[in-house]
Amino acid sequence: MRARPTRRVSVHRRGDNSAEANAQRICAVLEDLSASYCILWTPSASNGGRLRAGSHCALDGGMMEHSLREQYRPGVGAVGRVWAARNTELVRNANAATVAQFDRVHLASYHGVRSIALSFEAGSVVEVGTTLRTPWDKAPDVRALRLLLAGKDVAMKSMPKPFAPPKYSQESLANVVRASGGEYGIFWQHLPTLNELKAIVWYAHDNECMRRSSTFAFAPGAGHVGRAWLSQEPGLLADVHAPEGGAFERRLLAVHYGIRSIAFVPTCGSVFEIGTQHVWERIPELHTDQLFDSLDAAMPAFVVSPESEHEYEPSTDGTASP
């Protein structure tokens, strides 16, 4: 088990202290990502659109803090380059990187940073770095981190209380899938002891579709399931076969079974996933309270209507073969 870092945490945010309230949650996400620091770079309208460090957080309190002095024009430096290209860059081994690859490589070396990832997210650039000896093979998912650094509330509004989860049955799951025109359904439950979401109930008309999903597990904020759980917002992957479907970590599995659209609906502290061989323009009405044989009144279930849907943007997640 990885040792917990010394908690000399600091969160810096220009203009206000809205990110301070998220400090411990930012640290929790950093630890989940095996990261040591993060910076949110945002364009400044009063400074010719240059990107400045809007927020900074480090588990040791000061790692890469001198980055707060930097400013980048679009297309200049690693930050400006990622912002202009709207993409993601991974500096796998900062010890062997050049200034052209990452202009603050000497600062990174000073702090013992091994890998650095920069990702364009919603008009900003999120930079994260790790001091682990094993370098990253791919950039981590930083969506939840961006919201927290921006001072947004990403509260788990439907988190279950520490008592027995609601009772469920495959029959009730099958009824919801049939009524919604789906091909399969999965109920992902958050297991606090592992801090993972695992498939505990699965149903498919053919008794085969997406069965291997049960071998997957998602950390909060990771993958489409983990993001739905962390944000507590229902999401729709409108077309797995479209280019943006490449962000879906089980894309090959879904394509194998002819699945086109998949919805992810947080409910009772867990996530209900439903997929269809048709293309959904919006999430169908789902009464997820019918998934359970019993519900505690303090654990609300979502009733999804078109007004509450949210469509995911592409991410940097990889894919898994069926």
Please name the residues in contact with 220: beta carbons below 8 A apart, sequence gap of 6 or more: 32, 144, 190, 195, 197, 226, 229, 230
pLDDT over 70, % of the chain: 76
Q: 9-18, pLDDT tens digit by residue? A: 455 555 445 4
Copy the structure tokens of residue 81. 């380059």
Q: Does the pLDDT at position 27 exceed 50?
A: yes
Domains recognised in the chain with CATH numbers: 10-149 (3.30.450.40), 170-308 (3.30.450.40)
Q: 264-302, pLDDT tens digit by residue? A: 988 877 888 999 999 998 888 776 655 554 333 333 333
Is the pLDDT higher at 31 or at 85? 85
Is the pLDDT higher at 73 or at 231? 73
Q: 154-194, pLDDT tens digit by residue? A: 654 444 343 344 556 677 778 888 888 899 999 898 887 67
Is the pLDDT higher at 28 or at 234? 234
**CA distances, 292 to each of 169, 175, 261, 296 (Å):** 7, 11, 24, 10
What are the DSSP E strand ranges found in the chain?
Answer: 10-13, 37-43, 51-58, 71-72, 88-91, 115-121, 124-130, 184-191, 196-204, 217-218, 235-237, 261-267, 270-276, 286-287, 303-304
Q: Does the pLDDT at position 261 exceed 90?
A: yes
Coil, strand or helix at 199: strand
Mean predicted confidence (pLDDT) in 216-224 = 85
- pLDDT for 167 equals 56
- Range with top average pLDDT, 80-84, 165-169, 300-304, 314-318: 80-84
* Contact assessment for residue 272 and residue 168, using Cβ atoms and an 8 Å cutoff: no
C-alpha–C-alpha distance, residues 136 and 118, integer Å:
12
- Range with top average pLDDT, 84-93, 204-213, 240-249, 308-317: 84-93
- pLDDT for 190 equals 83
Residues in the chain: 322
- pLDDT for 193 equals 66
Nearest to 62 by CA among 119, 11, 101: 11
